[in-house]
Amino acid sequence: MEAPCGVDRLFSLVDQLTDYPRWMPLAHRVTPLDPDGDGRPAWEVELRARLGPFARSKRLRMVRAVHDVAAATVRFERREHDGRSHSPWVLDAAVVAVGDGSRLEMRLHYGGALWTGGVMEKVLAEQIVAGRERLLELVS
């Protein structure tokens, strides 16, 4: 996504998961948690997507694994503390300067099966488009 703002402004909206419900409809609720054992910030994230009268939701414990302000890059990874094996969720975001504005590139990796399949992939794509529009409104 290209935005009519500087790198710092755009990065400030993607480097803290607490800000995501303001612009990403998929991030239904985000609650800060005590930092991870290594001091990295952690959040409980409730993802929710609607398909007609039905909704799918998922709660994840996410930590900020990488936070490089100078390079405007951040990575969030799922790290649960319940002793069970969980599907990975990894979200990478990077902001770079482009002309008078900036560009955000995000990559989401999910290693499970809950959010896969043609119908849910379509809903996820719609959520991404809506999130991009809201984020642009916030920085414009």
Q: Could you tell me the CATH number of the domain that includes residue 36?
A: 3.30.530.20
Average pLDDT score, the chain:
92
- Please, which pLDDT band fits residue 102 given cuts at 50, 70 and 90? very high
Q: Of the candidates 66, 47, 44, which has an alpha carbon nearest to the alpha carbon of residue 56?
A: 47
Read off the pLDDT of residues 34-69 as tens digits, 9 standing for 90 and up.
999 899 999 999 998 877 777 778 899 999 999 999
- pLDDT given at position 121: 76
- pLDDT given at position 49: 80
DSSP H helical ranges for 1-140: 7-11, 20-23, 118-139
Q: What mean pLDDT do residues 107-136 have?
A: 82
Q: What mean pLDDT do residues 111-124 have?
A: 70
- pLDDT given at position 117: 60
- pLDDT given at position 110: 83
Domain of residue 83 covers 2-139
Domain count along the chain:
1
**CA separation for the pair 81, 66 (Å, rounded):** 19
Indicate the pTM of the whole model: 0.91
Q: What mean pLDDT do residues 89-99 have?
A: 97
Q: How far is CA 9 from CA 66, 69, 89, 93, 116, in A?
A: 19, 12, 25, 14, 33
